[in-house]
Chains A and B, each alone.
Chain A
């Protein structure tokens, strides 16, 4: 327990230092790059001051960490707003998309993998093979476009961009459209929100879905060959009990570990997916920040992504130890 927590903290510390040095690794003068070729020396000097580049390195690092501790991520060069405020505006959208995709890919992936393992070479197994070939070779942004074309334009089942229509009355409470509308018992908004999230979530879920299903399949196949399954059958346990209680539960262990890892992948995929569907989240924002060389924004964004991933990895580790007592004993 303690060890996991400590490791997470050390990783977080490393991430902070790495993010701090990001701006110092820029070849040349960052202030010059931010402002472009034609900037006056005065303007460059003022940007240097604003970014704190005129101070000694150790002082900069110290003040960066102390400002971080009070939640201050600096000012965005593009908009002049606080980076933390910009992030708070967009983080819920990205989290909502990633969580919905994670649930989608976990549910379908586990089911698909389990059925494929139950009858190797059967229909579900072939289907899984097809999906994973597509999932691992198709660029997620191209898949997004295909979905837009078929389900948005031709069939007109789903809206193709954004998070909610302008006409729907939505005032953010937590910032999560689906959660807010449920809490307010506003099922109409919930339904609209669901329609908007459907296509991006499906596009984003494809890669993790194929990975989860493949792992589930191989893990279950391996478990079904284990000795304790033979014992259970020999005892005369009904096949259903053997499959669900003995095999499935044990086969799920590696899948649970993988879910945490998938969350990181999902956040990465979200950066691409958001740009296809004009989803107003962190991904679009950080790409725009990189394009505009908005270093405080990039640093803040990367740090938030990193923190999210580190936290999820730590939680996964805890869950894993909780479901598998053997790991707890090992320490």
Chain B
């Protein structure tokens, strides 16, 4: 019962995120970039100002916070999904190679171990220092840091599958390596990869928001949540704590959602994964 409940919360939060992403133009009351002069630093309220409503208040430039948060969903979902897709696209084949080929395994696993021992933020910083800030570069940086966990999980799952009878049966029938990996083994490890993808989405969102918070990712005036926390910090301590607070809550709830979904999926699809991802 409890598990159903967490999965439900996760799915509703993610649906909200998707709805905001798709229909931001229609839902948001104002443009995320429009400055309302004379209406700066408003607190959240249900009262109208000059005939307009600013439910969550405005920031230092008089932009509607609610609209900015809704548009921010686009960055969040885009960065999360694209980075995980790239990481999976590169990490899964490499993991399959490592899992099925002993000699390559030594090299790939060692390299994965080394990369994983460094903090993701540091690796992302290096990539950004090479490529410069910006949405596209952040995606590359965060994707790079997510690849190792895909390699590691795919490798260990492939190794487990190789011990099973159906693989031996296929090998006896003369099925080639590539065919065996892609058509026989891959479908069997999809559930665990789904779990990892969901958990990685959370991490990727956290990381890309962190880079934007450091002014090295998506830069203002784009309504990205991490960079909104950063710009809100200047007024956070004095007059208007709302900008940082709501942006932070948005990041928290969405990461939480993907973590809850990941945990629930793991408990359903593959309880043996506990502790592995």
**B132 surroundings in chain A (CB, below 8 A):** 33
Q: How far is the CA of A166 from the CA of B49 in the complex (A)?
A: 44
CB of B244, distance to nearest CB on chain A (Å) = 6
When the two chains form their complex, are residues A138 and B252 in contact, meaning their CB atoms are under 8 A apart?
Answer: yes
Known: A160-B237, A261-B117, A291-B215. A142 touches B129 (CB 8 A): no
**Cβ contact within 8 Å between B252 and A137:** yes
**Measured between C-beta atoms, what is the minimum distance from A272 to chain B in Å?**
5
List residues of chain B with CB within 8 A of the CB of A218.
274-275
On whether the beta carbons of A133 and B213 are closer than 8 Å, the reply is no
Checking A138, A145, A265, A268 against B244 with a beta-carbon cut-off of 8 angstroms, the contacting residue is: A145
Could you tell me which residues of chain A, from 102 to 157, have a CB within 8 Å of some CB in chain B? 133, 136-142, 145-146, 148-149, 153
Query: Nearest Cβ distance between residue B186 and chain A, in whole angstroms?
Result: 29
Interface of B is mostly: helix
Scan A8-35; emit 1 where CB is below 8 A from any B CB, else 0.
Answer: 0001001000000010011100000100
Instruction: Decide if B256 is an interface residue (CB 8 Å cutoff).
Output: yes
Number of cross-chain contacts by CB at 8 Å? 116
Least Cβ–Cβ distance between B9 and chain A, in angstroms:
11
Closest beta carbon of chain A to B215's beta carbon, Å:
6
Least distance between B17 CB and chain A CB atoms (Å): 14
Whether A309 contacts B118 by the Cβ 8 Å rule is yes
A290 touches B216 (CB 8 A): yes
B248 near A306 with CB under 8 A, answer: no
C-alpha spacing A268/B126, complex, angstroms: 12
Residues 124 to 138 of chain B near chain A (Cβ within 8 Å):
125-126, 128-132
User: Given A14-B114, A153-B237, A306-B118, A287 and B216 touching (CB < 8 A)?
Assistant: yes
Interface segment out of the listed B29-37, B152-160, B202-210:
B202-210
Given contacts A290-B125, A313-B117, contact A142 B251 (CB under 8 A): yes
A286 at the interface (CB under 8 A from B): yes
* Interface size grouping (class) on chain A: 35 or more
Q: Considering residues A145, A146, A215, A267, which has the most beta carbons from chain B within 10 angstroms of its beta carbon?
A: A145
B79 interface residue per 8 A CB criterion: no
Chain A residues contacting B233 (CB-CB under 8 Å) are 145, 276
A268 touches which of B122, B131, B209, B237 (Cβ 8 Å):
B122
Q: How far is the CA of A227 from the CA of B37 in the complex (A)?
A: 73
Q: Does A321 contact B (CB under 8 A)?
A: no
Inter-chain contact B117/A267, CB cutoff 8 Å:
no
CA distance A287 to B124 in the complex (A): 11
- Confirm or deny: A264 has a beta carbon within 8 angstroms of a beta carbon on chain B: yes
Q: Does B214 contact A (CB under 8 A)?
A: yes
In the complex, the answer to whether A22 meets B126 with C-beta atoms within 8 Å is yes
Evaluate whether A271 and B214 lie within 8 angstroms (CB atoms) in the complex, with A142-B248, A149-B236 already known: yes
Q: How far is the CB of B208 from chain A (nearest CB, A)?
A: 11
Contacts of A272 in B (CB 8 A): 121, 210, 213-214
The 8 nearest A-B residue pairs measured at CB:
A268-B119, A142-B248, A137-B256, A268-B121, A137-B255, A290-B129, A298-B129, A25-B130
What would be 12 A-B contacts, judged by CB atoms less than 8 Å apart? A22-B129, A138-B248, A139-B213, A139-B252, A145-B245, A264-B118, A268-B118, A268-B122, A272-B214, A290-B129, A291-B216, A305-B118
